[in-house]
């Protein structure tokens, strides 16, 4: 597994406002989008491209185009949906599939309650969006799901991770070559498996509280 943590003052600034408990939902959503666009710039460094001929008003030259099939972007509902706009702003022609997953508050068991993805992901480059990597349970299940469908290269974009979650990914995915791109690795998990200092419940902060 490869881990990239963005080291940039603008990312640090936006993340600080995002963490603030007083930041209201509309600003929170905007900041998530902005942060994701910055993460996506780094996360897509190895996006597949091919040479194309382009004719400018002056001459013909060789340029670069995204290869087909396009990358597949998979937000993990709910909170990952808040990251979709920021990602597709950078790759407007990406395909988008959905995985709905929820972590049980007490047992931390993961339930996959929705899935809308191509049946065959053989050879596809996949970008998974989920703001929080806490115990890692959700991301492990999501990655295993995508691998079973044949996904080739998997890159995960998260805002925050706990060291415990990164260790769980490393252990439970063996030598799976996943790339995780993050804005911050926080200190730890608390007794309820929330990231400390974190930003609270990302889904609730984006969309309000749903029981």
Ligand X SMILES: O=P(O)(O)OC[C@H]1O[C@H](OP(=O)(O)OP(=O)(O)O)[C@H](O)[C@@H]1O
Ligand Y SMILES: O=c1cc[nH]c(=O)[nH]1
As annotated, the active-site residues are: 103, 107, 201, 204
Q: Which window, 5-13, 22-30, 157-165, 198-206, contacts Mg ion (CB under 5 A)?
A: 198-206
Query: Binding site for 5-phospho-alpha-D-ribose 1-diphosphate: what residues are annotated?
Result: 78, 103, 130-138, 201
Please state the closest distance from residue 52 (CB atom) to ligand X, in A.
Answer: 37
**Is 186 among the residues that bind ligand X (CB under 6 A)?**
no
**203, 205, 206, 211: which one binds Mg ion (CB under 5 A):** 203
Q: Does 198 bind ligand Y (CB under 6 A)?
A: yes
Which position among 36, 121, 195, 206 is part of the footprint of ligand Y (CB under 6 A)? 195
Smaller CB separation from Mg ion, 34 or 201: 201
CA-wise closest residue to 112 among 150, 135, 140: 140
Q: Which of ligand Y, Mg ion, ligand X, none does residue 130 bind to, with CB < 5 to 8 Å depending on kind?
A: ligand X
Question: Which CB atom, from 72 or from 134, has the smaller least distance to ligand X?
Answer: 134
DSSP for the chain, written as a single string: -EEEE---HHHHHHHHHHH-TT--HHHHHHHHHHHHHHHHHHHTTT--EEEEEEE-SS-EEEEEEE-SSPPEEEEEETGGGGGHHHHHHH-TT-EE-EEEEEE-TTT--EEEEEEE--S--TT-EEEEE-SEESSSHHHHHHHHHHHHTT--EEEEEEEEE-HHHHHHHHHHTTT---EEEEEEE-SEE-TTS-EESS-S-HHHHHH----
Q: Using alpha carbons, select from 139, 137, 142 the residue that is nearest to residue 104.
A: 137
Q: Could you tell me which of 142, 136, 152, 184 has the C-alpha nearest to residue 38?
A: 184
Binding of ligand Y by 137 (CB under 6 A): no
* Segment 121 to 150, residues that bind ligand X, using CB under 6 A: 130-138
Q: Which window, 29-37, 61-69, 88-96, 101-109, contacts ligand X (CB under 6 A)?
A: 101-109
- Point out which residues bind ligand X (CB under 6 A): 76, 78-79, 101-103, 108, 130-138, 165, 193, 201-203
- Which residues form the interface with ligand Y (CB under 6 A)? 79, 132, 134, 194-195, 198, 201-203
Which residues here bind Mg ion, judged by CB under 5 A? Answer: 201, 203
């Amino acid at each position: 597994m490869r881990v990239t943590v963005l080291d940039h003052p603008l990312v640090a600034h936006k993340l600080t406002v995002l963490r603030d408990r007083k930041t209201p939902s509309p600003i929170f959503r905007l900041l998530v989008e902005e942060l994701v666009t910055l993460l996506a710039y780094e996360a897509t460094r190895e996006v597949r491209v091919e040479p194309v001929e382009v004719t400018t008003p002056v001459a013909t030259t060789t340029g670069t185009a995204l290869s087909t099939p396009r990358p597949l972007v998979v937000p993990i509902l709910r909170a990952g949906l808040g990251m979709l706009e920021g990602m597709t702003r950078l790759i407007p022609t990406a395909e988008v599939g959905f995985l709905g997953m929820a972590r049980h508050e007490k047992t931390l068991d993961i339930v996959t309650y929705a899935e809308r993805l191509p049946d065959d992901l053989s050879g596809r480059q996949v970008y998974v969006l989920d703001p929080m990597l806490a115990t890692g349970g959700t991301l492990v299940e999501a990655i295993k799901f995508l691998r079973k469908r044949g996904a080739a290269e998997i890159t995960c974009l998260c805002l925050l991770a706990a060291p415990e979650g990164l260790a769980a990914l490393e252990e439970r995915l063996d030598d799976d070559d996943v790339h995780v791109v993050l804005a911050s690795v926080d200190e730890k998990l608390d007794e309820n498996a929330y990231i400390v200092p974190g930003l609270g419940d990302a889904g609730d902060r984006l969309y309000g509280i749903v029981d």
